[in-house]
Amino acid sequence: METNAVRDYLLGLQERIVGAFEALDGKRFLRDEWTRAEGGGGVSRLLEEGNLLERGGVGFSHVTGRSLPPSASAHRPGIAGRPWEAMGVSLVFHPRNPYVPTVHMNVRFFHSAPAAGEKGDEGPVWWFGGGMDLTPYYPFDEDCVHFHRPNRDALAPFPGLHDRFRKACDAYFFLKHRNEPRGIGGTFFDDFSEGGFESSFAVMRAVGDAFLPAYAPIVERRRGIAHGERERAFQSYRRGRYVEFNLVWDRGTLFGLQSGGRTESILMSLPPVVTWRYDWKPAPGTPEARLAEALLPPRDWANL
């Protein structure tokens, strides 16, 4: 199993995305290399108070552990307590302009093998996961369609996966306590090992490579739209939903915190300015009310 090839791809993907958004923003990303006492480390790239990005983080991590906690292996209890390694690239961009959507992308690999001399029902276990999703504040149909089509086209060589991953994304990025989607979806997959290592790795690369063509054109199209305090206030309010999802439902955040991950790197996905308002609802017919129309019901944007 060529785990070094996975690591090399992930590091290259991080550099490509950082380079593209340094060019778009005009400011440089901070580089923070770190190590983890239990094993492994990573590179966090962060840009705050930029021209385009109010906060943007692109993190690479390759971490190892001697004993996988049961809370992090609930779906595969047979590997609890075993040595493990996980690597991935995860990003969240919170743009300054409310007309530019927030975006999240993650691609990752997990591997666990029995310790020397260990007896058990499961041999080596590995899988890939990842995806991306878009969270607009003031949605434009053409942007929603554009974001989904590179995801669809990237997965075209793998029949059936786009429709499956799209539906999984809609189901995953859903705030159950509010009964509403976080955004307009994208793709999502986890525990994926179909077709063997090389085929599964190709799926992960296809998703990772689709990020820039899916998101960058939307950024360039919307970044110059004039806005004021009203739009910024609504953006800040809706960012609260982002925080709620990450801290209550997101499996990656929970795994990172439960497995002793680096808190600064895990939580750099959170937006810098957020507000909550008690039982607030936009007035019918306003641009803010349009968001609910875009979010519900979920739809197959790529094929509209």
Q: Establish whether the linkage from the previous residue to 298 is cis, with ω within 30° of 0.
A: no
The pair of structure tokens assigned to 86 is 């996980």
Question: How many angstroms separate the CA atoms of 13 and 209, rounded?
Answer: 8
Determine how many CB atoms are found less than 10 A away from the CB of residue 37. Answer: 7
Q: Catalytic one among 104, 146, 148, 162?
A: 104
Told to judge if 104 belongs to the known catalytic residues of this protein, a careful annotator would answer: yes
The pair of structure tokens assigned to 272 is 């810098």
The pair of structure tokens assigned to 12 is 């290259």
How far apart, in Å, are the Cα atoms of 11 and each of 128, 135, 155, 254?
Answer: 16, 25, 22, 23
Q: Which helix (H) or strand (E) holds 211?
A: helix 211-222
Determine how many CB atoms are found less than 10 A away from the CB of residue 214. Answer: 25
Question: Is 291 exposed, middle or buried, given 0-12, 13-18 or 19+ CB atoms closer than 10 A?
Answer: buried
Strand pairing report for 180-181 and 174-175 = antiparallel
Determine how many CB atoms are found less than 10 A away from the CB of residue 279. Answer: 4
Q: Which of 138, 100, 79 is nearest to 259 (CA)?
A: 79
The pair of structure tokens assigned to 96 is 């300054």
| Residues with Cβ within 8 Å of residue 72, at least 6 apart in sequence | 254, 255, 258, 259
57 - beta bridge partners?
46, 92
Active site residues: 104
